[in-house]
């Protein structure tokens, strides 16, 4: 089991928490600034995944990001292709939340070992 350090990852989650309300407000106003902030948030999310590390999937034999939730690749593609849509924001918010839960689970496992 891979060890995840929540302290190392907390800045990514704090950064998302600090911009997500602004993004939602910009989407509500149909302001293009939402797309600018979303691009920055996507970049931050990808950095979060890289910082969390990878491990080999026992079933497929491929390396995967540890913190990437179920169907994460497809969801990220959706976000990137439809970045001007409010639904992209909703998906990115869900990805951050699910990755945070996954990181917390790995962090607790570390303390139990």
| Residue 18 maps to a domain | yes
Tell whether 54 is covered by a domain: yes
Range of the domain at 54: 6-112
38 part of a folded domain: yes
9-55: pLDDT as tens digits: 999 999 999 999 999 999 999 999 999 999 999 999 999 999 999 88
Is the model's pLDDT at 2 over the cut of 90?
Answer: no
Number of structural domains (the chain) is 1
Q: CA 50 → CA 47, 87, 93, 95, 97, distances in Å? A: 5, 24, 18, 14, 16
Is 39 within the bounds of a domain?
yes
- Spatial contact of 106 and 69, defined as CB atoms under 8 Å apart: no
Bridge partners, 55 (sequence order): 64
* Average pLDDT rounded to a whole number, residues 1-13: 79
Assigned domain for 1 exists: no
């Amino acid at each position: 089991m891979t060890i995840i350090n929540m302290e190392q990852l907390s800045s990514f989650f704090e950064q998302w928490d600090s911009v997500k309300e602004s993004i939602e407000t910009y989407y509500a106003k149909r302001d293009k600034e939402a797309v600018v902030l979303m691009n920055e948030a996507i970049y931050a999310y990808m950095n979060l995944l890289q910082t969390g590390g990878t491990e080999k999937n026992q079933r497929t034999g491929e390396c995967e990001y540890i913190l990437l939730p179920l169907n994460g690749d497809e969801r990220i593609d959706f976000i990137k292709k439809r970045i001007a849509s409010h639904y992209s924001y909703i998906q990115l918010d869900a990805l951050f939340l699910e990755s945070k839960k996954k990181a917390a689970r790995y962090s607790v496992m570390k303390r139990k070992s």
